[in-house]
Chains A and B, each alone.
Chain A
Amino acid sequence: MSLGRLLTGVSWYLREITGAADYERYCERHRIRHPNVPVPNRSAYERERARHREENPQSRCC
């Protein structure tokens, strides 16, 4: 595996695991499902996500 591919892989993984890539996926999904509704901007999306997290707490283990 070349260094370039390795770096691409690592940055893909970090973006995925931290949720940094979620917004793009959300936009894509939104455009397909609701083509006539404008996509919320990033800030609004992140707020919605934080609110959702507020209502669905997750266990962290010992």
Chain B
Amino acid sequence: MPGNGIRSTKPNQKSILLWTAVALAGALAWGVVALARGEEISAIWLVVAALCSYAIAYRFYSRFIARRVLEVDDTRATPAERLEDGVDFQPTDRRVLFGHHFAAIAGAGPLVGPVLAAQMGYLPSTIWIVVGVIFAGAVQDMVVLFLSMRRDGKSVGQMAREEIGKVGGIAALVAVFAIMIILLAVLALVVVNALADSPWGTFSVAMTIPIALFMGFYLRYLRPGRVLETSAIGVALLLLALIGGGWVENSSLADAFTWSPTTLVFCLVGYGFVASVLPVWMLLAPRDYLSTFMKVGTIVLLAVGVIVAAPTLRQDAVSPFAASGEGPVFAGALFPFLFITIACGALSGFHALVASGTTPKLVQKESQVRMIGYGAMLVESFVAVMALVAASILDPGLYYAMNAPASLLGPSLESASQAVTNIGFSISPAELAAAAKAVEEQTLVSRTGGAPTLAVGMAEIFSQVFGGAGMKAFWYHFAIMFEALFILTTVDAGTRVGRFMLQDMLGNVWKPIGRVNWKPGIWITSALVVICWGYFLYAGASDPLGGINQLFPLFGIANQLLAAIALTIATTLLIKAGKLRWAWVTGIPLAWDVAVTFTASWQKIFSDDPKVGFFAQRERYAEALDAGKVLPPAKTLDDMRTVVFNSTVDGVLIVIFLLLVILIIANAAVVCVRAVRSPQPLPTAEAPYVASEVHVAPRDGAPEEAMVAAGDRG
């Protein structure tokens, strides 16, 4: 064993043969995916191409980063070992921590983005998801996890303040807060669009609240700590609620659960506030268990479904919208807009918050950041590939009828069919009616946001494997409930995190508001956070131009700008550690991400095309408004005012995001230049070396490894 405590194995003949076979299978699959033209190929090829690429990247690239770039050292005690307190710091088995970390990073993002991006065709989307995760997303997660672990679990904001400077630190804090608000609004909008006018979906999702409350009380008073038992009861009740939803839809209760988007907005805002001020044990904790089980279960089910049903891909490999930039789902050309639409799954700045939160305080051995940081992100990327498959097996006509804004599709099935024909695809009004009937929804026209499309795709795959066509409606609503469930968990958890940030910031100005136990402070700050995202949610749900169409680019840009901040910090810290020659590992993804986000922001701010540029859009509608004219899709002068106001807010927000990120990067650049010129290394906040006293065999069987970790302590 070398000095860093990590076992090195010489490649033997068997492993050379194995990896050659993996490489060949991957190359073959990529060849089929890329070269198939004019014929429909099986989705299996996409899955094989992705899996082989992940395997090779994990085996070779992540190992290279861990050993050469980060120089992980298993003889060095991790904060979990040095600061062990049984609560925050606790050496945790790597497989358990992998599960925790994955549950924290995976959400609706990798499911929604690829569905919308399918308008560019499945080929560019797949390439970005796979290449992006290997060279950018997983690298960011792993490097941030490592850097935070070496600093006793400091957050991205704290690292920016301590290692880059005060200005960069404050900018990072404000950017994270603003980005969080947009993220919550867009995710909530996905739920609103999925549940609007759908009594089955609304009933089953509404029932998750009493179910979670029941679980909360059960866990607290009847059977404390019996999480497995409680979760099993919860999942059973959830399935009952789902079946009950089907019954409600066909009963006289249906009207009571048929809610408009605006009603749903107010319900969600109210829910967000109440859920974030209630004690965690009552609602958040049980909901978290439910959504984690549902999430993992459904993802496994989808993987099995795709492999067993082996559906064929019906979308174009590269659609005409990739070059023209005139797609109805979101405006703009492939570069840069594909790369901001698919964020989670390829590169997600939000993960940097998770990777610098709880996870670094629980890592048992430094070398495990590879499995936890890089590995968990590869799995998330695989989820994105499967979401892309689910969207790409749909008839393109149906896909566009579901995802184009209502303003384009018009009021009836006939007008929607005509609109789809106008953009070069086809679906008849009868086919649209049949598709809606198959999943027992009133209509599927303009059900934007990605969730309904994914649900139709999943219902298609699941019903081929389990239950046949008769089960389609059940699977559709199962998928809707599963997405809504964990979006609501994100909304609840995100509002709490946002509240803490706000309390922290305002606490500098007025002390009492910063106290975490002062109830009025909690209520005021929670209300402020909810009002912030609630505003964007309302604006999105009532936007005449279509909320997803308008807000999703904002969300994507925000998330990728957060990645730019994380990668900037990572690159700066590598340079400060005297590793200039390895700075390209995070520097290249940073350069790419900056190119993408700055181009996208530039176009959103300065483009003359009113479909792309927020200010061009504002000008067009403001001029018409001054002349007293109403431009479609607006129907009234009030609609016109809404468009003018929304596009101004969205445009200004992008300008602010961009300026904040420029500030951070400029501040970091100064630090990097100083670090390179300085004869001595600049001071860093890295915790000093302490020898580890825990030995964990790297490749042991399940329970034994845990015994070593728990038993050696004392």
Contacts and interface: CB of A to CB of B under 8 A. Distances in A.
B225 A58 contact: no
Given A23-B225, A29-B713, A50-B279, A60 B96 contact: no
A56 B516 CA distance: 10
Contact of A59 (B95, B497, B706, B714): B497
A54 to B, nearest CB: 5
Nearest to B87: A52
Contacts of B280: 50, 53-54
Contacts of B105: 61
Interface string B76-107: 00000000001110000101100110001111
Given A16-B96, A54-B280, A61 B187 contact: no
A60 B279 CA distance: 17
A57 interface: yes
A50 B516 CA distance: 14
Contact of A25 (B183, B224, B710): B710
Interface in B220-247: 220, 224-228, 231
A57 B497 contact: yes
A51 B100 CA distance: 20
Contacts of A57: 493, 496-497, 499-500
B285 A59 contact: no
Interface string B564-592: 00000000000000000000000000000
Contacts of B358: 56, 58
Interface string A44-56: 0111001011111
Interface in A8-37: 8-9, 12-20, 22-23, 25-26, 28-29, 32
A53 B286 CA distance: 13
A22 B279 CA distance: 21
Nearest to A48: B87
Contacts, number: 119
B181 to A, nearest CB: 13
Nearest to A18: B227
B559 A58 contact: no
A61 B350 contact: yes
A12 B707 CA distance: 11
A47 B281 CA distance: 8
Nearest to A20: B227
B357 interface: yes
Contacts of A42: 224-225
B162 to A, nearest CB: 20
A59 B289 contact: no
A54 B353 CA distance: 18
Contacts of B219: 46
A46 B224 contact: yes
Contact of B350 (A9, A47, A53, A62): A62
B417 interface: no
B554 to A, nearest CB: 13
A12 B706 contact: yes
Given A13-B96, A18-B289, A59 B227 contact: no
Contacts of B220: 43, 46-47, 50
Contacts of B183: 62
A17 B87 contact: no
B6 to A, nearest CB: 24
A15 B220 CA distance: 18
Contacts of B187: 62
A3 B505 CA distance: 54
Contacts of A29: 86, 713
Interface string B499-522: 110000000000000001100000
Given A42-B224, A53-B280, A58 B357 contact: yes
Contacts of B701: 5, 9
Interface string B703-714: 100100010011
A61 B107 contact: yes
A20 B232 CA distance: 13
Contacts of A46: 219-220, 224-225, 281
Given A8-B703, A17-B96, A53-B285, A61 B228 contact: no
B1 interface: no
B225 A59 contact: no
Contact of A61 (B109, B288, B710): B109
Contacts of B493: 57-60
Nearest to A49: B87
B490 A61 contact: yes
B96 A32 contact: no
Contacts of B714: 32
A61 B100 CA distance: 12
Given A8-B703, A20-B226, A53-B280, A61 B344 contact: yes
Given A59-B350, A59-B357, A59-B494, A15 B107 contact: no
Contacts of B344: 61-62
Contacts of A15: 228
Nearest to B186: A62
Nearest to B106: A61
B702 A58 contact: no
B420 interface: no
B348 interface: yes
Nearest to A53: B280
Contacts of B86: 25-26, 29
B150 interface: no
Max chain A C-beta neighbours (<10 A), residue from B104, B285, B486, B702: B702
Given A42-B224, A57-B493, 5 more contacts: A29-B86, A32-B713, A58-B493, A61-B107, A62-B490
Interface of A: 5, 8-9, 12-20, 22-23, 25-26, 28-29, 32, 42-43, 45-47, 50, 52-62
Cβ-closest 5 pairs across A and B: A62-B109, A57-B496, A9-B702, A18-B227, A50-B281
30 contacts: A8-B703, A12-B703, A13-B96, A13-B702, A17-B99, A17-B100, A18-B227, A18-B228, A20-B227, A42-B225, A46-B219, A46-B220, A46-B281, A47-B220, A50-B220, A50-B285, A52-B87, A53-B285, A57-B493, A57-B500, A58-B493, A60-B486, A60-B489, A60-B493, A61-B109, A61-B490, A62-B183, A62-B343, A62-B348, A62-B559
